[in-house]
Structure 1
Amino acid sequence: MDRLTLRVPPDLIRRFDAAAASKGGRSRLLRRLMEEAAKAPFPEPLQAPSGRLEAKLGLRLTFADLAVLEREAASRGQSRTQWAVALIRARLHGRPQLNPDEAITFVEVQRELRRIGVNINQIARALNTAVMEGAVLDLEVAQLAAYSTEIRAHLIGVRDAFEGNLAYWAPGP
C-alpha cells in the first residue's frame, strides 16, 4: 500500500482530528475524501508478490527506552531501525549481525587470509618443483609453518568476533 505524508499546521490537524473522530479516524476520513475527489472507488489491496516479502513493523516505546535504543544504536554506528532489525534477525536466525565497522574489518580479514593463502600456495609450489637442500628447505618449511600459525590465529579471531557478536545480541541475564 502506498503512503502519503503531509505536513499541516498544528491548528489544522487538531480541527481535522476533531472532525475525523466521528468518521472512523484520520486515515479513514482521508481515504474517503480522496475517493470522493478522484470520483473512483478505492481499489482492492494488491496481493503481496511471491518471493521476498518486505514488511514494516511499528513500535511504540517510552521516551526513556527510545533514548537507550538510540544510544545503543549510535554506539554501534547504526540507526535505531538498523539496530532493531539486527536484533530481530540475530534472534530469529542466530547469525552475527555486523555493523559497518565490523563488516569492513571482516572484509579486511578475508583479504588478509587470501593473501596468506596465495603465499602458502607459492611456497608449496616451490617446494614441489625445486630441489632444495638443507638450510633453504628448512627455511621454506619454517615459513610455511609460520603462515599456518598466522592463519589459525586469524580464524580464531574471526570465530571470537562472531561469538562476541552473537553474545551481544543474546538476551541479558
Structure 2
Amino acid sequence: MDRITLRLPPDLTHRFDAAAADQGGRSRLLRRLMEGAAQAPLPTPREGPPTARSGKLTLRLGEADLRLLEVEAAAMGLSRTQWSAALIRRRLHDRPQFSRPEALALIEVRRELRRIGVNVNQIARALNTTVMDGAVLDLELAQLGAFQAEISAWVDALGEAFEGNLAYWAPAS
C-alpha cells in the first residue's frame, strides 16, 4: 500500500481524532473520505491562464537559529513557514507582508474610511441641494471638517502601518 503523510496543527489533529473515534479511527475515516473524493467526477479543465504552481523550499537551520525563527514567527502570529515565506516575498516583491490580525485590522480601517466617505458624500449632496441659513451651514461645514480630520488620521495610521511593516521586513543595517 502507498502511504500519504501530512502535517497538521495539533488542534486540527485532536478535532479530527474526535470525529474519527466513532467511525473506526483515523485511517478508516481518511480512507472513506478519500474514496468519496475519488468517486466524484473530475472537474473539467477550464480555459484561461494556467494555475500558479508552487514549489517546495527546504531549509536547514541550526538549533539556535531555529529557536530565533520560532520566536519571531510566534511574535507575528505566524508559523515558521509562513514567516519565512513572508520574508522572502517581501524581499522579492518589495511589498508589505501582513499577518492575519494585521490584515483584518487593515480591512477594518478600509471599512471605516468607506463609512466616513459615505457620510461626506451625503453631507455634500445635502449642501448642494438645499438652501441653508448661516447657523445650519456652519454646522454642516464643521461636520465636514471633522470628517476631513478623521480621514486624515486614518490615512496617517495606514501610512504608519505600511512603513512599520516595511521596516520590520527590511534587512538589518
Q: Same fold by TM-score, threshold 0.5 exceeded? A: yes
Given residue 160 of structure 1, which amino acid in structure 2 is its aligned partner? E
Match of 2:89 in 1: 89
2: CA distance, partners of 1:139 / 1:94: 45
**1:101 is aligned to 2:104:** no
Match of 2:42 in 1: none
1: CA distance, partners of 2:50 / 2:126: 54
Match of 2:130 in 1: 130
SS in 2 for 1:60: coil
2: CA distance, partners of 1:81 / 1:169: 15
CA-CA distance at 1:51 after TM superposition: 4.4
2: CA distance, partners of 1:72 / 1:133: 59
Match of 1:74 in 2: 74
Alignment of 1:5-16 (within 5 A): 5=5
Structure 1, gaps ≥5 residues long: 7-48
2: CA distance, partners of 1:101 / 1:80: 17
CA-CA distance at 1:98 after TM superposition: 0.4
Match of 2:62 in 1: 62
Structure 2, gaps ≥5 residues long: 7-48
The number of residue pairs the alignment matches comes to 130
Write the deviation string for residues 8-66 of structure 1: whole angstroms up to 9, x where unpaired.
xxxxxxxxxxxxxxxxxxxxxxxxxxxxxxxxxxxxxxxxx944120010000001000
Question: Could you tell me the percent identity over the aligned residues?
Answer: 64
2: CA distance, partners of 1:100 / 1:75: 12
Pair member with larger Rg: 1
1: CA distance, partners of 2:159 / 2:60: 36
**1:114 is aligned to 2:118:** no
Match of 2:17 in 1: none
2: CA distance, partners of 1:123 / 1:86: 42
Match of 2:15 in 1: none
Write the deviation string for residues 140-159 of structure 1: whole angstroms up to 9, x where unpaired.
01110110111011011101
